[in-house]
Chains A and B, each alone.
Chain A
Amino acid sequence: MSQKILEAKNITKYFEDPVKVQVLNDINFSINKGEFVSLTGKSGCGKSTLLYVLSTMDTDYEGSIYIDQDEMPKNDEGYLAKIRNEKIGFVFQFHYLLNEFDVLNNVMLPGLKLNKYSKEKIEHRAYEKLKLLGIEHLALKKANQLSGGEKQRVAIARALINDPHIIMGDEPTGNLDKKNSDLVFDIFKKLAHEYNQTLLIVTHDPSFADRTDRIIKMEDGKIIS
């Protein structure tokens, strides 16, 4: 079983401002379904930049990206938004929940946008995801009433709502204490191993990276191992 979920071919990227600097240099790799991959490296090595290129949010790069074996176009904003909605789940360092909504609606939002299921079904699924992460009791609380760890778990639930092909995380534990970091890591692990969920997590925390299935190490815009 080696279905390629994500593939990067010859990714090269420059920052133009203020001087032209190469941040990504001919990056090639692929991730198979169900893999729990961490992307590590020193600060400034380009790992976050690579993640945002892979996430389709940053389209200013050279090379090609395949998600679920489809090449991503670079200038069809609406199509890319659809891909992000349907196939990619995001977890960021800062939790980025919509404070205007309660937890349940935050989780449901991408599902409602996808509009694949009825509202009742999406609500049911949102409850399932929250239950999976052990926070179903928070469903009706406002997003800004939660603790950091709780927020991050809500963000993970939101990432899961559309059964994405891959979950991408940018330092998802970077802003959490040890206990909550472990909790989030355990959730990721459970998702990868029990639910065969593909994960690509950017982290500079070696103890987090060491526990993942595969480590991609970067240095100066290149993959070194």
Chain B
Amino acid sequence: MKKGILINIAKALLLARWRQTLVAAIGVTFSITMFVTLLGFMNGLNDLLDGLILNRTPHIKLYNDIKPNANQPIKNAAAYKEKYHFIQSIKSDANKQAIYNSQAIMNSLKKDERVVGFTQKLTAQVFFINGTTDITGVLNGVNAPEEIKLFHFNDYVVAGNAADLEKESNTIILGKSLAEKLLVNLGDVIQLSTARGDRFQLKVVGYFQSGLKDIDMVQSFASIHTVQKIMNKPNSFVTELDVKLKDINLSIPTAKEYAQLYQTDAEDIQTANAQFETGSSVRSIISYAVGITLLIVAGFGIYNILNMMIFEKMDSIAILKATGFSGKDVKSIFMYIAMSIGFFGGLAGLLFGFILSSIIDQIPFVTAALPTVKTFPINYSIIFYIIGISFSLITTYFAGWFPARKASKIDPVVIIRGK
């Protein structure tokens, strides 16, 4: 009841100067609109670019790097244990490219609580035979269903179906640029030869487009068994295990743990793509900074208008105080005015922000680099809307607080006698 009357007075004062009020509210609306749109757009882009790399990159990659053995035989010789070793002409050891005891590692990964899933991978260097010229390429043996599930493999297969790799034997998916070079269509059979010289014929069931032309020029995919067969290797032969974790932030410690546990090299996504994260956060910071700047400007608008209103309404404030409204009540009245400008302006801002985002979302954005994207990406996360409305309320609160305090301090005697 008591609050009701203060709100009524605030409403009357607001409506009496509705043009000013509208201008103030439009200021807030505009800044919130831009804030929400900007953040949505920026984060949409971030997600897109993250998706480009992060979705396809395993959180932890287990593999055996081609490098010299750290334990050279002389280390084990007791006679030279305390000595400094000079060893010359060390060669990298390439024979152990396969992950040793891969079946046991896979069983252990399956039981690991932190792991969403993993896929095996096998990489072979091959030559695609194209008439008289050979084109070098990389043939990746993948477990297609798992790859689709964990690393969105299907998003990048622009023609055909990735799942066909498992359904039919001796099939291959070619990088789009590679297919163009080889002049093959879906259903055609291509010939490739391994480094050892063995020749195989594979049927093309799809094209793959990653968005990075260098990759599309050399990469191709076949089922893991096909590649094992081509390489003449047993069923347990895999060169890489790609692990996807439940929490990407655990990738660094988990990678370290796996390297120890499985005696392989383990690369985590954060180390591999550190610069990527930086880019994303810088973009976010810029959009927040712009949004907050807009809001502060709007806040000054509200501050000005409230100050003016108080100046105009001195008489009303004096009479309110004379008839028993305390300074606190007067302050509340002006706070209600400020907060309602912030609230309704902010709410309209969220609505317009959503509309503007939807419009941007409809603008065509076609690029060969991004096969899955047809329009500008927008992130509609509710978080931005919550932040937007909170910022608008906080800004208007502070913008209103100083004028409201001034109003509460007005001495009615000075005004009433001053006439």
The interface of chain A, by Cβ under 8 A from chain B, is: 48, 52, 55, 57-58, 77-78, 81-86, 90, 92-94, 96-101, 109-110, 112-115, 119, 158, 170
Chain B residues with CB under 8 A of A58: 413
With A and B bound together, what is the CA distance between A222 and B20 in angstroms? 49
On whether A113 and B328 interact (CB within 8 A), knowing A57-B322, A96-B416, the answer reads: no
Contact B13–A90 (Cβ < 8 Å) = no
Chain B residues with CB under 8 A of A112: 1, 4-5
> Does B323 have its Cβ within 8 Å of any Cβ on chain A?
yes
Chain A residues with CB under 8 A of B319: 96-98
On whether A109 and B419 interact (CB within 8 A), knowing A77-B327, A81-B326, A96-B315, the answer reads: no
Contact A90–B417 (Cβ < 8 Å) = no
Contact A113–B417 (Cβ < 8 Å) = no
Residue-wise interface mask of B (284-326) relative to A, using a CB-CB cutoff of 8 A (1 in contact, 0 not) = 0000000000000000000000000000000110111111111
With A and B bound together, what is the CA distance between A85 and B12 in angstroms? 21
Contact B16–A113 (Cβ < 8 Å) = no
Give the 8 A-B residue pairs with the shortest CB-CB distance, closest first. Answer: A85-B324, A81-B326, A100-B12, A96-B319, A112-B5, A110-B323, A100-B16, A84-B324
With A and B bound together, what is the CA distance between A77 and B329 in angstroms? 11
Nearest CB of chain B from residue A166's CB, rounded to whole Å: 14
Chain B residues with CB under 8 A of A110: 323-324
Contact A81–B413 (Cβ < 8 Å) = no
> Does B371 have its Cβ within 8 Å of any Cβ on chain A?
no
Contact A158–B323 (Cβ < 8 Å) = yes
> Does B387 have its Cβ within 8 Å of any Cβ on chain A?
no
With A and B bound together, what is the CA distance between A86 and B12 in angstroms? 24
Contact A77–B326 (Cβ < 8 Å) = yes
With A and B bound together, what is the CA distance between A48 and B414 in angstroms? 12
> Does B117 have its Cβ within 8 Å of any Cβ on chain A?
no
Chain B residues with CB under 8 A of A83: 324
> Does B2 have its Cβ within 8 Å of any Cβ on chain A?
yes
Chain A residues with CB under 8 A of B327: 77-78, 81
With A and B bound together, what is the CA distance between A96 and B321 in angstroms? 12
With A and B bound together, what is the CA distance between A202 and B129 in angstroms? 113
Nearest CB of chain A from residue B110's CB, rounded to whole Å: 70
The interface of chain B, by Cβ under 8 A from chain A, is: 1-2, 4-5, 9, 12-13, 15-16, 315-316, 318-329, 411-413, 416-417, 419
Contact A84–B323 (Cβ < 8 Å) = yes
With A and B bound together, what is the CA distance between A101 and B140 in angstroms? 80
Most buried by A among B12, B324, B327, B416: B324
With A and B bound together, what is the CA distance between A114 and B329 in angstroms? 12
Chain A residues with CB under 8 A of B1: 112, 115, 119
With A and B bound together, what is the CA distance between A113 and B322 in angstroms? 12
Q: CB within 8 A of A113: which of B2, B316, B318?
A: B2
With A and B bound together, what is the CA distance between A77 and B409 in angstroms? 11
With A and B bound together, what is the CA distance between A55 and B416 in angstroms? 13
Nearest CB of chain A from residue B322's CB, rounded to whole Å: 5
Nearest CB of chain A from residue B305's CB, rounded to whole Å: 16
Chain B residues with CB under 8 A of A113: 2, 5, 323-325, 329
With A and B bound together, what is the CA distance between A93 and B416 in angstroms? 9
On whether A82 and B324 interact (CB within 8 A), knowing A98-B316, A98-B319, A112-B5, the answer reads: yes
Contact B416–A170 (Cβ < 8 Å) = yes
Residue pairs across A and B with Cβ atoms less than 8 A apart, 17 shown, are A57-B322, A57-B411, A57-B412, A77-B326, A77-B327, A81-B324, A81-B326, A81-B327, A82-B324, A84-B323, A85-B324, A86-B324, A98-B316, A100-B16, A113-B5, A113-B324, A114-B324
Contact B13–A100 (Cβ < 8 Å) = yes
On whether A57 and B413 interact (CB within 8 A), knowing A90-B323, A113-B5, the answer reads: yes
Nearest CB of chain A from residue B316's CB, rounded to whole Å: 5
With A and B bound together, what is the CA distance between A184 and B52 in angstroms? 84
Which of chain B's residues has its CB closest to A168's CB? B322
**Besides the contacts A85-B325, A94-B419, what 5 more A-B pairs have beta carbons closer than 8 Å?**
A48-B417, A57-B412, A82-B326, A92-B322, A96-B316
With A and B bound together, what is the CA distance between A98 and B323 in angstroms? 12
Chain B residues with CB under 8 A of A101: 12
On whether A109 and B5 interact (CB within 8 A), knowing A81-B321, A94-B419, A114-B324, the answer reads: yes
Q: CB within 8 A of A81: which of B13, B15, B329?
A: B329
Contact A81–B2 (Cβ < 8 Å) = no
Which of chain B's residues has its CB closest to A79's CB? B326
Nearest CB of chain B from residue A67's CB, rounded to whole Å: 13
Chain B residues with CB under 8 A of A52: 413, 416-417
With A and B bound together, what is the CA distance between A36 and B322 in angstroms? 21
